[in-house]
Amino acid sequence: MPKKIVVALGGNAILTDIPTAEAQKESLRQTSEHLVSFVKEGHQIMITHGNGPQVGNLLLQHAAADSEKNPAFPLDSLVAMTQGSIGFWMQNALREALIAHNIEKPVVSLVTQVQVDENDPAFENPSKPIGPFLSEEEAKVEMKKGNGTFIEDAGRGWRKVVPSPKPKSILEYPIVESLTDNGVITIAAGGGGIPVIASEEGFTGIEAVIDKDFAAAKLAELVGADYLIILTGVDNVYVNWNKPDQKKLTDVTVDELKEYIKQNQFAPGSMLPKVEAAIEFVENAKDGKAIITSLENAGKLFDGNGDVTTVIK
Ligand SMILES: Nc1ncnc2c1ncn2[C@@H]1O[C@H](COP(=O)(O)OP(=O)(O)O)[C@@H](O)[C@H]1O
Ligand SMILES: NC(=O)OP(=O)(O)O
């Protein structure tokens, strides 16, 4: 039975160790091989992807070049630029993979704006890590220079943090829905979407980076998806993660996950937003389920062999 699916792609699907454009395009070629399995099974997919490393690097490039003749752009414009560049790479990688599998299907990436609340408390409390990982010493030097706030990111090093408000709506969701219904594979809300607020002129960009897992959950809710599938670096969500008694979660209810959140089982900035996004979708969707697993499991989710984390009501 064909399903309507929103796939949220994690960082390792695009950027591994090498941040060059060529290396990211190569990662996306490999990622596309996995995504094709959904299409082969007849499912309709929409794809959302991250941009944390890329938008942080672009911010550094703009800051380094900043001058009267070549001014740095605001963060919302940088999000739009990464949405464009990653969408361009992904759209071509996916098209090549489809052709290699003799599948004729159009692919498009859509400039997507996501409405947020300008009074969202996230604007007072930057929490979204972007850009390269620094040592503690390097991060402290940057903070002394007035280059923003840096925090330790889930045991992986120090990173700059920026505001990450929750998505309230996705302006272009009816277009995503119509493209999907017409058989087009649509890459939408890339980098969490371009953050905008309602203004007298219509909508205006605001400086922030929206979490792509929350943006994907909102998109899945608005288009009435059957599944939100969050693909990341692990096959399952675990409790007691990285401890000798770690236990993988397979079928898990929203209430059970809320209890685990209370016990601080999921690291903020890595697994916690994924679990929260999955809960949000399952709670708000009429009949939707969420899956959190690795990219490599993409081909075996609905055939009963997938030992993955599935969130149910
Ligand atoms: N409780 C947990 N269960 C499973 N993985 C966890 C848990 N807590 C933290 N992690 C880590 O979180 C990672 C996913 O977060 P992250 O790498 O930030 O996501 P993304 O794939 O979107 O870039 C996993 O690959 C794993 O290393
Ligand atoms: N925007 C966003 O959530 O990006 P990452 O997944 O790369 O952090």
ipTM of the complex: 0.98
| 28-39: average pLDDT | 96
How many residues are listed for the chain in this entry?
313
Report if pTM > 0.95: yes
Phi (first) and psi of residue 303, to 5 degrees: -100, 15
Domain residue ranges of the chain, discontinuous segments joined by +:
4-64+80-110+169-195+210-311
127-154 per-position pLDDT tens digit: 999 999 999 999 999 999 999 999 998 7
Nearest to 140 by CA among 160, 122, 114, 123: 160
43-90 per-position pLDDT tens digit: 999 999 999 999 999 999 999 999 999 999 999 999 999 999 999 999
Name the percent of the chain lying above pLDDT 70: 99
For residue 192, the ligand 2 atom closest to its alpha carbon is 1
- Residue 21 reports pLDDT greater than 70: yes
List beta partners, residue 47. Answer: 7, 187
**Which residues are the active-site residues?**
11-12, 128, 212, 274
Q: Over the stretch 253-309, which tens digit does the pLDDT of each residue have?
A: 999 999 999 999 998 878 999 999 999 999 999 899 999 999 999 888 876 656 899
Give the residue carrying structure tokens 């993409």. 298
CATH superfamily of 4-64+80-110+169-195+210-311: Acetylglutamate kinase-like (3.40.1160.10)
CA dihedral 146, 148, 149, 155 (to 10 degrees): -110
List pLDDT tens digits, range 86-124.
999 999 999 999 999 999 999 999 999 999 999 999 999
Closest-CA residue, ligand 1 atom 18, reads 270
How far does residue 122's CA lie from ligand 1's centre (Å)? Answer: 22
pLDDT of residue 154: 74
